[in-house]
Chain A
């Protein structure tokens, strides 16, 4: 008996445009519901395997569930509710944010950037010292 794959269900809901908040919460509720159904069947005397089989049957198919969620426009992300608007807004937002992206990336990876900057500084100092020594050896030599 296969357990319902709730992680796969969450992915299917997200792919169908359901907002992450609703998708994850619904999957958690459904998982608890499944556990309650199993517990109830066990309390009625079913063995573990039959209890799980009965719970899966009562819960309904994942296809039905995804279809029921996807039919509710209000549970979808705004990009799925207003796809034409999203097609216009997303590229404009991307263009607006693009010049600031190096700054954001730098802030997000500040430790790596600082390490890289320090290495560059040390390499610069060493190069300058070498050049100075060579220059002095020419002048004094």
Chain B
């Protein structure tokens, strides 16, 4: 079983998936590899867990999917939509705000 991440990781998989799909369309396995690579394996998801996130994002219109036959298998490729780009921007802003807040709080706590 792969290493799990703490509860405060809620929302991070969504942000990472949207960020990676902003560059190019990808399928599930490819996305998990890219997350590991992009985060230097700091973030390790139970690999199957990305599919509920992908389906939810597709359901709310942030992603679109299409099937492509590749190497004898039919892959489901996900791509970002215009709505997804807006969602990514919002999540980025939220993340920056939270990150700034936590960094400030840790700095204050450290100097106290």
Q: Which residues of A contact B (CB under 8 A)?
A: 22, 25-26, 28-30, 32-33, 35-37, 57-61, 64-65, 68-69, 71-72, 74-75
Contacts and interface: CB of A to CB of B under 8 A. Distances in A.
B73 A26 contact: no
A37 B73 CA distance: 14
Given A37-B29, A74-B60, A68 B52 contact: yes
Contact of A57 (B1, B28, B29, B32): B1
Interface stretch (B18-26, B42-50, B85-93): B42-50
Given A32-B29, A33-B29, A57-B1, A75 B55 contact: yes
- B contact residues, range: 20 to 34
8 contacts: A26-B51, A33-B32, A36-B29, A59-B48, A60-B1, A65-B46, A65-B49, A69-B51
B56 A32 contact: no
